[in-house]
Structure 1
Amino acid sequence: MTEKQKMLNGEHYNSRDPELLSMYHHARKLLKAYNTLDADLNEERNRLLSDLFENKGEGVWIEPPFFCDYGALISVGENTFINTNCLFLDNNKITIGKNGLIGPFVQIYTAEHPLKASDRIIRNKNGSYYLTSSKPVAIGDNVWIGGNTIILPGITIGNNVTVGAGSVVTKNIPDNVLAFGNPCQIQKKL
């Protein structure tokens, strides 16, 4: 089994694997071009995002700068707006539905590490590396994620949800609710 297959299966994998590093470097080239492109070059912006992402719906708008690990594991639905300085660590699938609003500085994490240092740090003849595993994140349709929110690995956020600014989402959120806080909690049905 390849390190990429392990990564997508949620197993521990070596992120310094040549295949994963190749994906990482490819994403860095596309992100550098995207993040420095003149704002009025919409066709080129769309082309770069289509090359970067697994799937990109019509009408997706991402304010630069935007950051991710691979890009190839991200799917964004039509008419979704992602504001400036977002960071998506796509070590597993990140799926965002249609008509989403993602505030500035939102961070979506799919990667995690063993808590115990002796389990996390692997030493071999070539030096050290860190064991990593990952879980996918899914965000439904018509969702508004407030600025500076952090979404942890393995989270599912339902449809028609509003997540208040500055939240840390540690548990799944069902459809049609307002949720906020650290940790993020459901406040009321919408």
Structure 2
Amino acid sequence: MSEKEKMMAGHLYQPYDQELYHEREICKRMLYEYNRYTPVQKEEKDILLKKLMNCKGELCIEPPFYCQYGYHITVGLNFYSDVNLTILDQGLVEIGDHVVFGPHVQIYTASYPFHEGQRMQGLEYTRPVKIYDHVWIGGNVTILPGVKINQGAIIGAGSVVTHDIPPYVIATGNPCRVLRSITKEDLHRQW
């Protein structure tokens, strides 16, 4: 099994493998180009994002944007992210339709073993992250490996999401906890 296959299967793998290093370098070059486009070069930015990631429709990611591989990221329809989105996509990241991210959102799929000997060898493993449709992620949110954020959830600014979030709730904090369900009364409420 190659290091890339181990990475995708969630097994311990060596990220400094030549194939993986080469793929990260390609991604870095594409992101360097993307982050240097002027605001009026929207078409060029869109084409580059669609080469980098699996995009189902229109999306807008305000630069700068950073990721590791790009092709492990799937984005649904009508996605918007404010500035400084970072997705460490060693594992799969699925983002649903009509999802909005505030500034400085970070999604991590890689983690490290507990045993120091394995960490000293540079080994790591991955867990996928899934964000369902109609989710709103506030600014400065960190989403850890293996997390699912279910349909219609809202994650408050500054949260660290360490576990799955149920549908149609407002959750916030470090660690992120459910505050309450979203109700019909919220139709008339603003932050």
Aligning the two structures, in what range does the TM-score lie when normalised by the shorter sequence?
A: over 0.9
Identity over aligned residues, as a percent?
A: 42
Question: Which runs of 5 or more residues in structure 2 are unaligned?
Answer: 183-191
The residue that corresponds to 2:85 in the other structure is 86
- In 2, Cα distance between equivalents of 1:148 and 1:47: 27
| Structure 1 residue ranges (4+ consecutive) displaced by more than 4 angstroms after TM superposition | none
Would you say how many aligned residue pairs link Structure 1 and Structure 2? 182
* Structure 1 SS opposite 2:10: coil
Aligned twin of 1:111 = 110
Counterpart for residue 37 of structure 2:
37
Whole-angstrom CA distance in 1 between matches of 2:176 and 2:101 = 16
Instruction: Indicate the SS of the match to 1:20.
Output: helix
Residue 115 of structure 1 and its aligned partner are, at CA, apart by 2.3
| Amino acid across the alignment from 1:139 | I
The TM-score with structure 1 as length reference comes to 0.94
Q: Unaligned 5+ residue runs, structure 1? A: 123-129
Partner of 1:135: 127
User: Displacement, 1:105?
Assistant: 0.6
Question: Offset of 1:175 from its aligned partner?
Answer: 0.8
Q: Which residue of 2 aligns with 1:8?
A: 8
- Deviation of 1:21 after TM superposition, in Å, equals 1.1
Q: How far is 1:18 from its partner? A: 1.4
Higher-strand-fraction structure: 1
Which residue does the alignment assign to 1:177? 169
The alignment's TM-score, normalised by the length of structure 2, stands at 0.93
Give the aligned residue type for 1:146: G
SS in 2 for 1:46: helix
Q: Distance in 1 between matches of 2:106 and 2:157?
A: 12
- Name the amino acid aligned to 1:10: G
Which residue identity is paired with 2:40? D
